[in-house]
C-alpha cells in the first residue's frame, strides 16, 4: 500500500489515499461560499478526498463569523462552483455539516435565529464577533423535542442540498463540543 495509490471508498475511487482534513476558513461573506473559497479548494484538489470546513445546516447552526452554510439557494450555488472546480481536477469532496449549538454568539448569526443547545448552560470563555470583538458566550435556549426534530430535518435538508451542490458525500461533525457532541457529553 502506497499513499499515491488509488483507493476505493464505498462506490468511489479516490485518486490517492490522502485526505485533506477540515479547517475553518471564515471566508464566506454573508455565509455564502465565494470565489476565494473556490480557489482554496481547487488548489487542494490533488488530495484523494477533501473534507470541507464546518458548514452550517441552518441559520441556527451558525456560530463563528463568516462560516458557510448549506441551507439557502445562494449557498448551494456557491458550493456548486467549488465542487465543480474540485471535480474538474479529479478530486472528491465531502461537506462537513457542523451545527455549533451553544458554541455561538448572536453577533455571528442571522436575524431571527436562536442559539440552541441540549441545556441552558453557557459555555465558558468568549466567542469572536466581527462587530464587537471577543464576547462572552450567552446562555443558549434548551431545545424542546420539537426543536430537536426540526434540527434533525435541517440536517436532512442540508444533506439534500449537498447532493444538489455536487458533493460526493456528507460528514456529520460530532466532536469538539458542537451540537451533536453536546448531546453526547455531560
Catalytic residue list: 178
- How many Cβ atoms sit within 10 Å of the Cβ of residue 182? 23
Largest Cα separation within the chain, whole Å, is 52
d(CA 82, CA 33): 8
- Chain-centroid distance of CA 47 in Å reads 19
The grid cell for 159 is 444533506
Q: Which of 49, 58, 63, 62 is nearest to 21 (CA)?
A: 49
Amino acid at each position: 500500500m502506497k499513499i499515491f495509490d488509488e483507493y476505493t471508498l464505498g462506490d468511489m475511487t479516490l485518486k490517492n489515499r490522502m485526505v485533506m482534513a477540515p479547517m475553518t476558513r471564515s471566508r464566506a461573506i454573508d455565509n455564502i461560499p465565494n470565489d476565494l473559497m473556490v480557489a482554496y479548494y481547487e488548489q487542494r484538489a490533488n488530495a484523494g478526498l477533501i473534507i470541507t470546513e464546518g458548514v452550517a445546516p441552518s441559520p441556527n447552526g451558525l456560530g463563528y463569523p463568516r462560516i458557510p452554510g448549506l441551507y439557502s439557494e445562494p449557498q448551494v450555488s456557491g458550493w456548486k462552483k467549488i465542487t465543480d472546480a474540485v471535480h474538474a481536477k479529479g478530486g472528491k469532496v465531502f461537506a462537513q455539516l457542523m451545527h455549533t449549538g451553544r458554541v455561538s454568539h448572536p453577533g455571528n448569526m442571522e436575524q431571527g435565529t436562536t442559539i440552541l443547545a441540549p441545556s441552558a448552560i453557557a459555555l465558558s470563555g468568549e466567542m469572536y464577533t466581527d462587530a464587537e470583538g471577543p464576547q462572552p458566550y450567552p446562555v443558549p435556549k434548551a431545545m424542546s423535542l420539537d426543536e430537536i426534530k426540526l434540527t434533525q430535518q435541517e440536517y436532512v435538508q442540508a444533506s439534500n442540498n449537498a447532493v444538489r451542490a455536487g458533493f460526493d458525500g456528507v460528514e456529520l461533525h460530532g466532536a469538539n463540543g458542537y451540537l451533536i457532541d453536546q448531546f453526547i457529553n455531560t
